[in-house]
Amino acid sequence: MGALGLIFSLGLVLAYRKLRVEVDPKIEKVSEILPQANCGACGYSGCQAFAEAVVDGKVAPDGCPVGGEEVANQVAAILGVKAEEVIQKIARLHCRGTHEAAKDRGLYLGLTTCQASHLIGGNKQCTHGCLHSGDCVKSCPFEAMYMNEEGLPVVIEENCTACGICVDTCPRNLLELHPVSQEIIVFCRSLDRGAVARKVCKNACIACGICARACPEAIVMENNLAKITDYKKIAPEKIPEIEKCPTDAIGRLRK
């Protein structure tokens, strides 16, 4: 038995030496500096998979949105390349359809999830607005969101890592990642004609075009909805004109 054990042990040692796969030491170094959130925001299953991909050259050093610029610079240093400038982003909500602003169409008694409510059209007359069940808040792995008393999710900016999980979770695409420097956004996603939109939600975009006329180089009307094409082209002196929107569907986050 002892002899057999020795033979099997030697066989395992030889097999290990012959079949083992050499692991690039850079992978371990990159993995050590990653946040280990394993959130999948980079497009890979976890931080280890991202480390392997970045060392393999399949993804850029700034591919981890959670780590931000600091991690990107460290990864680039390990790889011996120059890191691209990382634009800090944050999740923001494109809806002001509060309990009071958006009219009800009935009483919903089903599963209290946005996904379930969305399948039957929700309990609001606006079919583009927030469903108020907080799937996005529940999905956030960084406790960067909460539901306010008006039924809308609120992003805690200092906690948001721009991982994008809440963006993917919302069935109505009401959340979007924006550069932190972007202070003006459209607070609506309704594609209904103006008369219909205003009837179902008093905070909806009614496609009046005031904002687009005030700043045509940065704002256009598309499918009955204002769209910002380049926020950097919005001159400060044009903001007061843009904010003449009768429903406050577009404007600054902080006035």
Average pLDDT score over the chain: 89
Mean pLDDT, residues 40-58 = 87
- pLDDT tens across 105-127, in order? 888 888 899 999 999 988 899 99
φ, ψ for residue 23 (rounded to 5)?
-100, 130
**Cα–Cα distance measured from residue 39 to residue 142, given in angstroms and rounded to the nearest whole number:** 10
Q: What domains, with CATH codes, occur in the chain?
A: 24-86 (1.10.15.40), 89-181 (3.30.70.20), 182-255 (3.30.70.20)
Percentage of the chain lying above the pLDDT 70 cut: 93
How many CA atoms are closer than 13 Å to the CA of 124, on its beta-carbon side? 25
Mean pLDDT, residues 208-236 = 96
At residue 67, does pLDDT exceed 60?
yes
- pLDDT tens across 145-185, in order? 999 999 999 999 999 999 999 999 999 999 999 999 999 99
- pLDDT tens across 90-102, in order? 999 999 999 999 9
Per DSSP, the residues of 190-225 read --S-HHHHHHHBTTS-----HHHHH-TTTEEEETTE
pLDDT at residue 19, as a whole number: 54
Alpha helices in 80-141 (DSSP H): 114-119, 135-139
Higher-confidence position of 240 and 88: 240
User: Model-level pTM?
Assistant: 0.79
